[in-house]
Structure 1
């Protein structure tokens, strides 16, 4: 469900591996993700991605969401763990990003997506509050009005719109996604953890 690869060259890839369920996240997967992020604290770069060619993650598993997962503090714990990593973090979005999965992508330093990706966070419609840090991080990237457009008005963004707004940093073909993500890790992989951490801490 959560697959961890690499690390020998300083670059760790963490994959949401539940493509038959649109990589929707269960409580167990979120716990495994938190553990994988703790284990990656010594890495020089971490890439988060999803299995399959359509969806990075549809958010919470529907059955578990109805049972309370949608409002669990574990979402905030995972996004906080991503944000706290002292190295370069990249969300390689292989497809649509939805719901609670926004948190881990927003907490990354960079977001790269494929052209067919869509972006939506339907909390108003579903009657849930977003994770506490998500509106703050989202507004820092795209501004308050566009944040409200997504969270309150429930609008879906195409990858081109998301790129134009600043939600994602690059749009690349599916075949180039991981190669591009790894290319962005090259300098960090050659660096030292203390310098990477200091550089990262200098950027507000």
Structure 2
């Protein structure tokens, strides 16, 4: 398999993390913002949705969207619950990640970290994202106060999915994680897993 991956992107990282935990081997093409590799990937049509990550299978088929890739790779693994409700619960967290969490937590980090988004660094914008982000982190905290994992009673794709942008919410997004002890314990549990790789790994 070949993974077109943006090194600094949490969406790309979540796929790399799952592959590491599963012990999957693959070829990796880094397509960072403003890189020649990204321009070449666009030119060649390697990114069907115009963005990374994109996974090219051994048979040439191409799959885009990070959570769809997670679902494909996780099929039949320990990261997809057998229980019907737990599996649906996993999917609900994954939908929520893209619909709510990513559009706030990741966006604030992008505005603060990427030079091409510096023009968006107004105090009003950053403050609004900070307030909304803490509400979203609080939703995760409520669940993690009651259970070690987001869906069912074991780690699932939901945890990998939401770990990606949450684990750098403080260092890249400027969020204060101190009020969320259960969430911080969850982050530590994932970071200690066999096969774990970090964002820069």
In the superposition, the TM-score normalised over structure 1's length comes to 0.28
Which of 1 and 2 has greater Rg? 2
Greater per-residue strand proportion: 1
**Greater relative contact order (CA < 8 Å, ≥ 6 in sequence):** 2
In the superposition, the TM-score normalised over structure 2's length comes to 0.28
